[in-house]
């Protein structure tokens, strides 16, 4: 969740960097020339007219009739796909041009536009289009400029020369979405600390065989004996891979009465957060090893068996007493989880003598 918020904030800064500029000086139209004007050619690389260290918007217009617009963020190697659509090349030499691009993107980019069409305008050496994020719409101006296109996601562009293939891809994507099975809440538990702080854990399962779910969410509500709400909380997780579980635990909120019931409800998964596992590559679950329960803390290490290094990971410890009752949840977030390596974690815990067993889980975050 923190990562998603940071991502949106970074993109908001990038797309907000617009400038009010007048028309660029034009040549004296009274000067006669015998040169034959060439057809206006907009193909090539374009970058945001005004950019800062946080990043910038970039585009590539291909001669095969496609335009791709991407967001380049600092410290992110892979550009974020915003728009991939049709490009209708100008058929004359006029220095102004406008076309309506039809969305052809079949990938699962988190920041990809859901619009069916987008209008692009070329004037005074700039390509302009509108961008909306968090309810704010701004105009993005692009000028010709070089940028590294080799890291464009492989699923961004589809060949405009093979309409049948594109259509089949879309049908496959639609079929995948139609076959999607909802996430399942398989288990949960809660307790009160100091008589008023509600702690919980929840186990969510992804029953799909080929679809991973990004940013799955659930709602937690505590009610009194008369049915009135004592507190509520929405929580978003990172990713649940196909046929795997995600166990999460934390403090929820404070209550002024002992809840008569605590309810967990899964929230619907948006289409853009359903990702075919083929697009993600191989992944093995993180492993919690070398654990120890000390007098005032729980320690251990997370082993990352994958070839990728993760910016962060979450570790959760579910503690039970001798009767199997849920008595404590501990959570720690660790950073720079190196590939094929161990990363240490530590979480505070009191009265550890009451812990008969501890279950450990770790997930990329």
Considering only CA atoms, which of 270, 273, 361, 277 is closest in space to residue 314? 361
CA distance 208 to 180: 7
pLDDT above 70: residue 168: no
Average pLDDT over residues 327-349: 96
Q: Which CATH class is domain 2-19+39-178?
A: mainly beta
* Neighbouring-strand partners of residue 337: 310
Average pLDDT over residues 247-259: 97
Range with the lowest mean pLDDT among 149-158, 192-201, 304-313?
149-158
Considering only CA atoms, which of 214, 349, 216, 359 is closest in space to residue 295? 349
pTM more than 0.75: no
* Gyration radius from the chain CA atoms: 26
Residue 363 to residues 256, 265, 268, 332, Cα–Cα distance (Å): 33, 21, 21, 11
The residue extents of the domains of the chain are 2-19+39-178, 184-364
Q: Determine the 3-state secondary structure of 125 from DSSP.
A: coil
pLDDT tens digits for 309-332? 998 999 999 999 999 999 999 999
Question: Could you tell me which residues come within 8 angstroms of residue 46 by beta carbon, excluding any fewer than 6 positions away?
Answer: 58, 59, 60, 61, 127, 142, 143, 144, 145
pLDDT tens digits for 181-236? 999 999 999 999 999 999 999 999 999 999 999 999 999 999 999 999 999 999 99
């Amino acid at each position: 969740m923190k990562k998603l918020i940071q991502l949106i904030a970074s993109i908001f800064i990038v797309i907000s960097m617009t400038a009010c500029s007048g028309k660029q000086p034009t040549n004296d139209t009274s000067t006669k020339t015998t040169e034959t004007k060439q057809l206006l050619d907009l193909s090539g690389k374009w970058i945001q007219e005004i950019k800062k260290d946080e990043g910038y918007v970039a585009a590539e217009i291909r001669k095969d009739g496609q335009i791709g617009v991407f967001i380049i963020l600092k410290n992110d190697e892979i550009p974020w796909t915003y728009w991939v659509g049709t490009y209708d090349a100008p058929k004359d030499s006029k220095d102004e041009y406008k076309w309506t691009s039809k969305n052809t993107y079949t990938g699962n980019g988190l920041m990809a536009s859901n619009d069916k069409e987008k209008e692009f305008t070329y004037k005074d050496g700039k390509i302009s289009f509108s961008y909306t994020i968090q309810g704010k719409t701004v105009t993005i101006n692009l000028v010709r400029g070089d940028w590294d296109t080799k890291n464009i996601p492989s699923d961004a562009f589809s060949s405009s020369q093979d309409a049948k293939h594109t259509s089949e891809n879309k049908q496959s994507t639609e079929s995948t979405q139609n076959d999607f099975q909802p996430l399942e809440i398989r288990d949960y538990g809660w307790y009160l600390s100091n008589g008023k702080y509600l702690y919980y854990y929840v186990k969510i399962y992804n029953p799909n065989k080929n679809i991973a779910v990004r940013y799955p969410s659930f709602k937690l509500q505590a009610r009194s004996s008369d049915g009135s709400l004592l507190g509520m909380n929405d929580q978003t997780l990172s990713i649940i891979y196909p046929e795997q579980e995600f166990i999460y635990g934390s403090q929820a909120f404070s209550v002024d009465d002992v809840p008569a019931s605590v309810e967990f409800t899964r929230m619907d998964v948006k289409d853009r957060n359903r990702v075919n596992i083929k697009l993600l590559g191989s992944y093995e679950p993180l492993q919690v090893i070398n654990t120890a329960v000390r007098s005032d803390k729980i320690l251990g290490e997370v082993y990352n068996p994958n070839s990728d290094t993760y910016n962060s990971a979450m570790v959760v410890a579910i503690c039970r007493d001798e009767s199997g009752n849920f008595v404590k949840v501990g959570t720690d977030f660790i950073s720079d989880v190196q590939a094929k390596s161990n990363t240490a974690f530590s979480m505070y815990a009191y009265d550890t003598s009451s812990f008969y067993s501890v279950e450990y889980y770790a997930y990329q975050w």
